[in-house]
Chain A
Amino acid sequence: MTTALDRPVKPPQVFPSLSTRRKTVNNLATVLVFGSFIVAMVPLIWVLYTVFSRGLTALTSDDWFTRSMRGVLPFFEGGGAYHAMVGTLMQGAVAALFAIPIGLMVSIYLVEYADGSRLGRVTTFMVDILSGVPSIVAALFIYALWITTFGFSKSGFAVALALLLLMLPIVVRSGEEMLRIVPMDLREAAYALGVPKWKTIARIVIPTALPGIITGLMLAVARVIGEAAPLLILVGYATYINYNMLEGEMGSLPGMMIAELNNPSGPGRDRLWGAALTLVLIIALLNIVANLISRYTGAKKK
């Protein structure tokens, strides 16, 4: 067996070796690039770890998911976040209820009808503006419109309206994106069969894009559900359950966090982190479901 001369002792040098400076700069850049990723992961893991480790005490108590804070004194143990979860979910649901039809119709207009028209361009521009509007400004606008001008009282519904404003650009954008990737062939096939345009959109285009639209909607709900700024201005915080969206104060998870922040006792801190963990879990759940829908059904991006 020949073992000695399988390959040359020294590989032939096709390229001259790198200068030390270039090698050093390259290595340094690699370290910096890896480092920046690690730097970004630190707060993420830190935040999540803190919320989980400190929030678990409250979450594992018996009453957390079944009781409100009614009659629970701030410095004593007990109580739960049921009222806050109900409030947060109701406000999110009402906002979504309005955001779906309006946002979807806007994206249908932009994709199917606008065709470079002036209204189409103006609408895209306006939706862009809306996506940059701070939540506190959206809340002030709803205050100026709904409460000062129309004379309604502060309520959960007013918050839902502010959330709707924050949701709309996300719903419109994702709807637009999903409708655009429906193949033109499908529409043309329907037209060729003599199906009216509106029926083509309602029966063929939308169902094809539906999983993507639902995904976008769930992400939109997840994005706005943790907004606390509108709560401060548009509804007070209630420690009891209020199913009435149109009147009275209402509990919510961000509201509960702000309320318990002023309570430095041990039970107060437990409830504070418990509310934070509950909120993060609800948002995570919405995100996971949205991801599962987009992974296992229908149209794919790209």
Chain B
Amino acid sequence: MNVNAKLPEDPVTTRLHRGRAGRPGDAIFAGLARGAALFVTAVIAAIGVFLLWRAMPALTRNEVNFLTSREWRTFTPDSLAFGVLDLFLVTVFVSAFALFLAMPVALGIAIFITQYAPKQTKKGLGYLVDLLAAVPSVVYGLWGLLVLAPALQPVAAFLHENFGWFFLFSAENEGLVEAGFTIFTAGIVLAVMILPIITAITREVFTQTPTAQVEAALALGATKWEVVRTTVIPFGKSGYVSGSMLGLGRALGETMAIYIVLATASSDFRWSLFEGGQTIASKIASGYAEINNELQAGAYIAAGLVLFVLTFAVNAAARAIVAGKGVH
């Protein structure tokens, strides 16, 4: 048979061919999808640009150094003074404290769910931890203020009385320790709130531990804990760290819980857990009444920009760790 002979015109292929050339539906749909992607990308890029643009007029009128001053005076547009140093330090300090509390617990839960819990209950237990994330932050704030703070009062008093000489537990304002609306309480509330994020990511990485490694460790006579220590933890370490960074990012930006729990005492920041203070986010939230004049709003927007950059840096670092290790 001569394979090179010209085939008779096939009506089906020609129709398909003509159809493909002129399928307006495809072009429109692809355009819509691409348009949506472009739109969302543009909007997100606009967040940074807009905040910067809107902060500019206020920043040029700022009478103190924005990054190194502790002063915040925005009641009158004529004499604006806003420095974010204290806000920045409180934000970082309370988030770091929350991370310090949440990280070991999250590691424990992730190991518990992936290695120790019976197979049938794994899903349910994971769901239970995720429930923690479903409770809105304003409810955590409420609980922190009205329930947790009074309950923690004896612990706080004990720490302050016995370890008050240590800078973390010292207090300038004894009444604040008594009332409990301190960085200590706020940090614990934050720790509860970021726990599910860290756990979810750590759990996911831990379940991917190669079975061969686990079995090899078992074959060498390792105990359950030795299996975890020699295979699961080294394998999932980068996932655990990046999950913690994402948790930190969440803690840095958390607004309502801090806004409700933390007393807005305005002494200088002193690296003590028994102080009040304001984070960038809670400062913006508590200044909502002032956010209606362009210049005053600009001061808060400038603070918001700092928060945006800070959370972006932390989240980007978290993602870089994941990408670097090839863990999904």
Contacts and interface: CB of A to CB of B under 8 A. Distances in A.
Interface string A74-118: 000000000000000000000000000110011011101110000
Interface in B253-300: 253-256, 259-260, 281, 284-285, 288, 291, 294, 297, 300
A72 interface: no
B38 A119 contact: yes
Contact of A102 (B40, B131, B246): B40
Contacts of A135: 253, 255
Contacts of B142: 257, 261, 272-273, 276
A35 interface: yes
Nearest to B30: A113
B304 A137 contact: yes
A297 interface: no
B23 A41 contact: no
Contacts of B43: 165
A244 to B, nearest CB: 20
A258 to B, nearest CB: 7
Contacts of A172: 40
B301 A129 contact: no
B192 A43 contact: yes
- The range of chain B's interface size is 35 or more
B132 interface: yes
A93 B38 CA distance: 24
Interface in B211-264: 221, 223-226, 228-229, 246, 249-250, 252-256, 259-260
Interface string A244-269: 00000000001001100100000000
Contact of A279 (B34, B44, B139, B316): B139
Contacts of A34: 112, 116
B26 A33 contact: no
A168 B250 CA distance: 17
A43 B132 contact: yes
Given A39-B105, A136-B285, A228-B256, A129 B312 contact: yes
A53 to B, nearest CB: 11
Given A29-B228, A105-B36, A258-B138, A128 B109 contact: no
B128 A44 contact: yes
A30 B116 contact: yes
Contacts of B112: 33-34, 36-37
Given A36-B112, A140-B284, A198 B28 contact: yes
B45 to A, nearest CB: 7
Interface in B107-143: 107-109, 111-113, 115-116, 125, 128-129, 131-132, 134-140, 142-143
B108 A137 contact: no
Interface stretch (B3-11, B46-54, B169-177): B46-54
Question: Interface SS of chain B: helix, strand, loop or mixed?
Answer: helix
B50 A145 contact: yes
Nearest to B188: A43
A254 B51 contact: no
B54 A279 contact: no
A46 interface: yes
Given A30-B225, A43-B132, A113-B33, A36 B109 contact: yes
A133 interface: yes
Interface string A278-302: 0110011001000000000000000
A130 interface: yes
B237 to A, nearest CB: 17
A248 B297 CA distance: 20
Interface in A120-170: 120, 122-123, 126-138, 140-141, 143-145, 148-149, 165, 168
Nearest to A276: B139
Interface string B1-25: 0000000000000001001000101
Contacts of A50: 143, 147
In this complex, the member of B37, B136, B253, B256 whose beta carbon has the largest number of chain A beta carbons within 10 angstroms is B37
A196 B145 CA distance: 58
A22 interface: yes
B137 A228 contact: yes
Given A102-B39, A283-B136, A133 B33 contact: no
B55 to A, nearest CB: 9
A226 interface: yes
A166 to B, nearest CB: 11
A40 B36 contact: no
A36 B108 contact: yes
A105 B19 CA distance: 24
Given A48-B135, A258-B260, 17 more contacts: A30-B116, A30-B224, A36-B105, A36-B108, A46-B147, A109-B36, A113-B30, A132-B253, A133-B311, A136-B253, A137-B253, A144-B54, A201-B29, A229-B259, A233-B284, A254-B136, A272-B142
15 contacts: A29-B228, A30-B225, A37-B112, A37-B113, A40-B105, A44-B135, A50-B143, A51-B143, A119-B38, A122-B41, A130-B44, A136-B255, A172-B40, A196-B23, A233-B284
